[in-house]
Amino acid sequence: MKPIISASELQSESAGARPPVLLDVRWTLGGPPGRPAYEAGHLPGAVYVDLDAELAGPPGSGGRHPLPDPEAFGAVMRRAGVSADRPVVVYDGGLGWGAARAWWLLRWAGHPDVRVLDGGLAAWTGELTEKVPAPEPGDFRPEPGALGLLDADGAAAFPDAGLLLDARAAERYRGDVEPIDRVGGHIPGAVSAPTTENVDAEGLFLAADVLRDRFTALGAAEGTPVAVYCGSGVSGAHEVLALEIAGIPAGLYAGSWSEWSSDPARPVATGPDPR
């Protein structure tokens, strides 16, 4: 099954006998909050999920968006109506990062059928509603470990045995600028692969073969392990999703640069070259 769904496909499935659970994960780094936009209009039946409060733990030494406690995450998903045997579709405003974070967490936690609305709300041509649903509680209980997860030590060692991709903007990778974290640069050995280059001008993912060619050119050869990091484990999930579309499994360093750069003892590389 493809990990993304088009707006027309979602309209068809939503009108069927067993429509998917819809999660609205509108989110922008630094705000504004997504809930007011959700309340102003969302897909019928969609439940709002707050990325900062419900798809991440408290910020700290583990980064700006550390993984949430699995039990707390499971409770949020059950309140939203998520069950183990019912498909889930997640969407955001169009950038795709918030939706990809929800997709990654659900897949990592063991849900077998999760897709992202390709292009997000911007691609939707159906009706919107202001009505906030009250779904029947679901039965989903996380069983973490279905997707690869790296910690800081794992990320440090990864380039010696595989391909570690940095999904942030190239200028942050090089260390030219760093608007958020303590210091600019990248994990030594990581390869720059901005996640913005995985989508077209409309925010739709590039075709699977185009994405496969892109990642192959970056070093994702047959048999080479691949992992991704970003600023705080959000846009990196979007890149893992792009790799999934391309047929390339990849792990995620969830703490990402916000965790790595918080420790002055960890090495930092700058410039365009991996090391």
Q: Which of 159, 187, 186, 182 is nearest to 172 (CA)?
A: 186
- Per this entry, what is the length of the chain? 275
Q: Residue 56 pLDDT more than 90?
A: yes
Q: What is the pLDDT of residues 110-123, one digit of tens each?
A: 999 999 999 999 99
When pLDDT is averaged across residues 56-75 and rounded to a whole number, the result is: 96
Domains observed in the chain: 4-123 (3.40.250.10), 149-260 (3.40.250.10)
Q: What is the DSSP string of 59-121?
A: -BTTBSSPPPPHHHHHHHHHHTT--TTS-EEEE-SSS-HHHHHHHHHHHHTT-S-EEEETTGG
What is the structure's pLDDT at 139?
98
211 phi, psi to nearest 5 deg:
-65, -40
What is the structure's pLDDT at 28?
87
Q: What is the pLDDT of residues 137-183, one digit of tens each?
A: 999 999 999 999 999 999 999 999 999 999 999 999 999 999 999 99
Which residue type is seen at 143? E
Of 37, 164, 204, 230, the catalytic one is 230
For tokens 């733990």, the residue is 57
Cα atoms found within 13 Å of the Cα of residue 21, Cβ hemisphere only? 30
- Rounded to two decimals, the pTM is 0.97
Active-site residue flag, 230: yes
Other CB atoms within 10 A of residue 151 CB: 12
